[in-house]
């Protein structure tokens, strides 16, 4: 029962082998009942009383380990997704807290849309809308001049940076495919950060991290950088209200202009003259790039909200800039056009609705 005894005889006899006819000696060893008797024997015990593992046991162990690794990978992926969701929720909560406990005397806070509806109702009863405003949810198509386009639903959104970090940013999917010799960059922004709103946008190319940057860092004034050359812009945007900002530049004599809410606030020349803006770079919103597409510094990060970032390959006329700022017209940049499918949000940046009434009243 559970063991077997047998003579220690050779299992095969070859030609010319010497056969010993001495009395057989018997050796008893334990065997499973279902194991057939024969020349194969159960594994013999090693020194110390431990049994050697079988090949089948090793295979089962390997399969078990593989299943464990797969399960752990699935758990890590689930936890990573949970972290992303929690980061986004934390960002929204921080945005609410910043709006409720912000600087006294500032404009409307940054609380999310449920609280904005009451504000909008109150404002619509007391403040006349500028020319060309969207009324009752329908755009005024009769006041869109010079081929400007009426907004599409996927263009009406804003992105929020509630914290000054080195991981919250928006990457623009488009890049420049050839050198450009003039440009206009326009966007809406709102920030109450002081001192310094940070970096609303930056464009980096191989070999030059500061090819095109708009930055207000620390106690320094707002600056426009082109090929790492700087011009000071006399802009004031720290009142937690929406402002329409445009900067224009031409490589001819390095002539530049800056606009706030449709009004020219500064101009100059000799800013990187005769230097073309290089192609093949990366546009980032909310961060200054120290290398191509990365190496962000939290002290230079933008804090606030951005919307309607567009880039043109020519200098817009003052009248066109004014119409954009007063919502009398809509135009999309021929180099970069603002749309949900044109940007990637990273690090918990919030994407929120952006109403024409809100920005025109604030602006």
Examine the pLDDT at 317 and tell me if it is beyond 80. yes
Judging by DSSP bridges, how do beta strands 169-172 and 223-226 pair with one another?
unpaired
The top-scoring range by mean pLDDT among 37-41, 94-98, 188-192, 285-289 is 285-289
C-alpha distances (whole Å) from 288 to each of 169, 295, 326 are 10, 8, 29
Can you tell me the mean pLDDT for 233-259? 95
Residue whose structure tokens are 């900067």? 247
Q: Which residues of 250-280 are buried (b: 16+ CB within 10 A; e: fewer)?
A: bbeebbbbbbbbbeebbeeeebbeebebbee
Could you give the count of Cα atoms lying within 13 Å of 215 in the half-sphere of its Cβ? 24
Q: Can you give the pLDDT at residue 61?
A: 82
Residue whose structure tokens are 């991981």? 167
Residue whose structure tokens are 């390997």? 62
Q: Can you give the pLDDT at residue 89?
A: 73
Examine the pLDDT at 330 and tell me if it is beyond 90. no
Examine the pLDDT at 205 and tell me if it is beyond 80. yes
pTM summary value: 0.59
Q: What percent of the chain has pLDDT over 70?
A: 65
Q: Which residues of 219-228 are buried (b: 16+ CB within 10 A; e: fewer)?
A: eeebebbbbe
Can you tell me the mean pLDDT for 287-305? 94
Examine the pLDDT at 132 and tell me if it is beyond 50. no
Name the β-bridge partners of 351: 159
Phi, psi of 41 (to 5 degrees): -125, 160
How would CATH label the architecture of 113-362? Sandwich (2.60)
Can you tell me the mean pLDDT for 128-149? 38
Could you give the count of Cα atoms lying within 13 Å of 3 in the half-sphere of its Cβ? 7
**Which pair of structure tokens corresponds to residue 75?**
């758990």
Q: Which residues of 113-127 are buried (b: 16+ CB within 10 A; e: fewer)?
A: eeebeeeeeebeeee
Q: Can you give the pLDDT at residue 48?
A: 47
CA–CA separation, 30 and 331 (whole Å): 90
Residues 6+ apart with CB under 8 A from 139: 150, 151
Q: Is 183 helix (H, G, I), strand (E, B) or coil?
A: strand
């Amino acid at each position: 029962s559970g063991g077997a005894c047998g003579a220690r005889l050779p299992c095969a006899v070859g030609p010319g082998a010497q056969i010993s006819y001495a009395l057989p000696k018997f050796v008893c060893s334990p065997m499973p009942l279902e194991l057939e008797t024969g020349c194969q024997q159960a594994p013999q015990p090693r020194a110390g009383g431990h049994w050697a593992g079988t090949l089948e046991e090793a295979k089962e162990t390997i399969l078990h380990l593989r299943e464990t690794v797969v399960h752990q990978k699935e758990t890590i992926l689930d936890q990573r997704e949970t972290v992303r969701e929690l980061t986004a929720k934390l960002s929204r909560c921080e945005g609410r807290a910043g709006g409720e406990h912000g600087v006294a005397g500032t404009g409307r806070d940054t609380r999310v849309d449920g609280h904005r509806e009451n504000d909008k109702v109150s404002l619509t009863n007391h403040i006349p809308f500028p020319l060309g405003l969207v009324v009752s949810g329908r755009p005024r198509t009769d006041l869109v001049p010079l081929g400007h386009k009426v907004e599409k639903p996927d263009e009406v959104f804003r992105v929020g940076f509630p914290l000054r970090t080195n991981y919250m940013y928006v990457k623009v999917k488009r890049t420049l495919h050839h050198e450009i010799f003039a440009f206009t960059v326009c966007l809406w922004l709102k920030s109450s950060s002081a001192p310094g709103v940070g970096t609303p946008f930056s464009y980096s190319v191989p070999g030059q991290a500061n090819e095109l940057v708009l930055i207000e860092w620390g106690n320094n004034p707002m600056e426009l950088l082109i090929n790492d050359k700087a011009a000071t812009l006399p802009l004031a945007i720290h009142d937690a209200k929406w402002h329409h900002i445009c900067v224009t530049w031409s490589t001819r004599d390095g002539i530049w202009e800056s606009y706030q809410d449709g009004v020219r606030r500064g101009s100059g020349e000799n800013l990187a003259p005769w230097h073309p803006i290089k192609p093949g770079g990366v546009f980032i919103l909310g961060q200054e790039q120290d290398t191509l597409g990365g190496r962000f510094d939290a002290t230079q990060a933008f804090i606030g909200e951005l919307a309607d970032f567009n880039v043109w390959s020519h200098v817009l006329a003052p009248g066109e800039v004014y119409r954009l700022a007063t919502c009398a017209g809509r135009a999309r940049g021929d180099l970069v056009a603002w749309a949900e499918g044109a940007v990637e949000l990273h690090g918990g940046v919030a994407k929120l609705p952006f109403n024409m009434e809100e920005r025109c009243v604030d602006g």
